[in-house]
């Protein structure tokens, strides 16, 4: 592998949700690709964590492959940055078990994401795995001695718990782990077409795999300023969802769109078409690569298996350290 100066190690993770949407792109992937220049990166597929929202595993494998097709399409370089499934590396569950001894249940009950998980639940009821969710995440991060964890705002409490566990381990048995830092993505979360959080389960997404026609049809349904009913009515870009998309994907045309909207000269339909085109321009370069991987899925699986080999070596070496410090064995 080429020699580069790196600032440290990054552990980024995502649950395997299938085809990636623009929210995943803006909130994570775009950032991951940039960061691979400066850091040594490990890309975790949190397939065990996925069980906290769905016990039906029939689509887990397909969702994993579909997700990785998009990761590769946007430019994650698997040679440089291993891509691997949590479930294929036993050390995750081993370290998670040990970490479970280092944090109180009271602390885990205070985790703000626990309440959200319960609310979004289609699993029926709270299980032990929900409470332990951040403990497994701490194992994900610390097994690779990650210094930096690129996350959205919602995951910051989990990184905080990871830091507490790392400190507690180091104090109890000797220093093994770095104290990782959360690195927030610069663009705030991209809302979905209905103005709520962009999410597959809601059906308000634009996918990286969408064609220009798909995008056009979807953006037509996007909510806009309810006071702007027809062309000629002045609109309020600052509260308009479509304008949020323009800001992210069409920065150049923003001043013109802003004045067109506020004066009334620009109608919503035309504005949306401009927006759809701008979005497509951003994702178009990934399209061919995405189609290639989607039709060569065994190649994608090979890439993952290769990443798992490399990740496993690191994980095993950390566990050797851990056991030595703990005088186990
Ligand atoms: N909990 C994260 C999410 O839902 C996914 C995740 C699992 C993760 N393990 C991780 C993220 C480790 C960063 C680091 O988005």
DSSP string covering 60-119: HHHHHHHHHHHHHHHT--TTTS-EEEGGG-THHHHHHHHHTTSS-HHHHHT-HHHHHHHH
- State the pLDDT at residue 326: 98
CA distance 18 to 61: 9
Looking at the CA of residue 146, tell me the nearest atom of ligand 1: 14
Tens digits of residue pLDDT in 287-326: 999 999 999 999 999 999 999 999 999 999 999 999 999 9
- State the pLDDT at residue 201: 82
CA distance 102 to 171: 11
Which residues, in sequence order, are CB contacts of 32 under 8 Å at separation 6+?
Answer: 12, 41, 43, 71, 76, 150
Domain ranges, ordered by start, for the chain: 9-191+296-326, 212-290
201 Cα: distance to centroid of ligand 1 (angstroms): 18
**Which tokens belong to 288?**
């061919």
Could you tell me whether strands 181-184 and 148-151 are parallel, antiparallel, or unpaired per DSSP bridges? parallel
* Contact between residue 138 and residue 166 where contact means Cβ atoms under 8 Å apart: yes
Q: Which residue has the higher pLDDT, 230 or 273?
A: 273
CATH class assigned to 212-290? mainly alpha
**Which tokens belong to 326?**
């703990």
137 Cα: distance to centroid of ligand 1 (angstroms): 6
Tens digits of residue pLDDT in 74-129: 999 999 999 999 999 999 999 999 999 999 999 999 999 998 877 776 656 889 99
Find out whether the beta carbon of 159 lies less than 6 Å from any atom of ligand 1: no
- Which CATH code for domain 9-191+296-326? 3.40.50.620
Counting beta carbons within 10 angstroms of the beta carbon of residue 232, is it exposed (0 to 12), middle (13 to 18) or buried (19 or more)? exposed
Sign, Cα dihedral of 201, 155, 238, 215: negative
Tens digits of residue pLDDT in 273-290: 999 999 999 999 999 999
pTM over 0.85: yes
Give the pLDDT band of residue 133 (cuts 50, 70, 90): very high
Q: Which of 155, 166, 180, 200 to mutate to test the pocket of ligand 1 (most atoms within 8 A of CB)?
A: 155
């Amino acid at each position: 592998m080429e020699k580069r100066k790196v600032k440290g190690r990054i552990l980024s993770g995502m649950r395997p949700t299938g085809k990636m949407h623009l929210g995943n792109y803006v909130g994570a992937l775009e950032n991951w690709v940039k960061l691979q220049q400066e850091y040594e990166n490990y890309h975790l597929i949190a397939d065990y964590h996925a069980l906290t929202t769905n016990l039906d595993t029939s689509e887990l494998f397909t969702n994993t492959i579909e997700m990785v097709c998009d990761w590769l399409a946007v430019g994650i370089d698997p040679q440089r940055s291993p891509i691997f499934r949590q479930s294929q590396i036993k050390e995750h569950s081993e370290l998670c078990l040990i970490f479970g001894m280092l944090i109180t249940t009271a602390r885990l009950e205070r985790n703000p994401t626990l309440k959200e998980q319960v609310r979004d639940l289609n699993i029926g009821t709270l299980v032990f795995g929900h409470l332990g969710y951040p403990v497994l995440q701490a194992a994900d991060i610390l097994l690779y001695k990650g210094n930096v964890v690129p996350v959205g705002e919602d995951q910051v409490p989990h990184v905080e718990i990871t830091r507490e566990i790392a400190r507690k381990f180091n104090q109890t048995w000797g220093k093994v782990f770095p104290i990782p830092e959360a690195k927030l993505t610069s663009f705030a979360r991209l809302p979905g077409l209905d103005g709520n959080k962009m999410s597959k389960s809601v059906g308000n997404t634009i996918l990286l795999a969408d064609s220009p026609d798909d995008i056009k049809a979807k953006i037509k349904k996007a909510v806009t300023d309810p006071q702007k009913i027809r062309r000629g009515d002045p609109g309020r870009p600052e509260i308009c969802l479509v304008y949020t998309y323009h800001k992210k994907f069409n920065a150049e045309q923003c001043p013109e769109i802003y004045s067109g909207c506020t004066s009334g000269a620009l109608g919503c339909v035309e504005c949306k078409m401009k927006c759809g085109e701008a979005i497509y321009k951003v994702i178009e370069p990934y399209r061919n690569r995405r189609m290639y991987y989607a039709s060569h899925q065994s190649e994608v699986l090979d890439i993952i298996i290769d990443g798992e080999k490399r990740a496993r070596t690191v994980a095993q070496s950390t566990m050797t350290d851990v056991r030595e410090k703990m005088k186990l064995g």
